[in-house]
Structure 1
Amino acid sequence: YHEQLSIETLLTQRTSGRTPLSIINLSSLGDNANIVFWVSQFLLALNRYAQTHPASELQAVVLFDEADLYLPAQGKPSTKAPMENLLKRARSAGVGLLLATQSPGDLDYKCRDQISSWFVGKVKETTALNKLKPMLSEAKTDVSAKLANQQVGQFFHIQAGNVSSLQANMSLVRAEQVPIEKIITLAAQSKP
């Protein structure tokens, strides 16, 4: 089941008035090189959308899992420049970005200034903690010693130097691997 990449189709309000939710599964693309190429094209299309659809209110939120692959501290994949551009300009277009990673210290340090809110969970490796120190140094409360003892679902929310604790609730959605055949069937059934 394949559709042409169209940000307008993904983000435009449905006539039913329901907010669209689109999940893009990249597992069929194979290796990281193919995934990075596809995501770079997606980011370029999202940048074009942001330029042509400015909004003062939030109109879309895009989540990138394993974001350190697209915005690494080392190297320059084809995703890096368009992701940097989005971090600088998406807010003025009403587009929110969520970057999820197991290794926030591996994100390009130059782009960290463009990220206004951080949710940091359990980090116990010394190397990872050291990579986070520059970001954590801006916080009014030093939480670096507490990160290794966080429990599942516990996070520190860091924004504008302020730190607050956050306890995430258990997800009501079961996390399970879905075979590609079932994904194709479900996608065909839910096509707008």
Structure 2
Amino acid sequence: MRIIVGITGASGSLYAYSLIRALHQLNVETFVIPTEMGRKVMKFECGIDVDTLKQYATVLDNSDLFSAVASGSVKTEGMVIVPCSMNSLGAIANGVGDTLMSRAASVVLKEQRKLIVVPREAPLHLIHLENMVKLSKSGAMIMPASPGFYHRPKEIWELVNFIVARILDAFDIDHSLLARWRETPITQ
């Protein structure tokens, strides 16, 4: 199994870091495409240089349109962009393929593979919403970084794992990151 993970400059790079580590632990071959701002935000928010991810995945250069994942002949299960900035989301929704990330996303859509975008923006204006609708109509899954609270989280990692678990579920990857709804008794 192969998954492409895009990391943009939106806040929430901890989601990407946690997902990439989980994919590694689950023996999923992972290609990571960080934007320049994605690199900067990960360093700022998490204190992690994207090169650290090389121990878990193959990190690709966003300017390398000759990369294998720019071609539909390379089989993947799909791609997740987490976090997904409105800039990247807009480029993908409008067919702009001038970076490896947007090209890989376009390839995933044209090959009818799974594309998941995890926007982390609030509030949203009409253009954001229209771009999300375009992507959804093209086959993408829009999964806002909005963790649930029914599992009664007490620490940040529990909120992060909620979203990571939902991404893994969307790719039908078995995991044990958190208990599912009503699998454990809820006490008052």
Q: Same fold (TM over 0.5)?
A: no
Kindly name which structure, 1 or 2, has the bigger radius of gyration based on alpha carbons.
1
Which of structures 1 and 2 has the larger relative contact order (alpha carbons within 8 angstroms, sep 6+)?
2
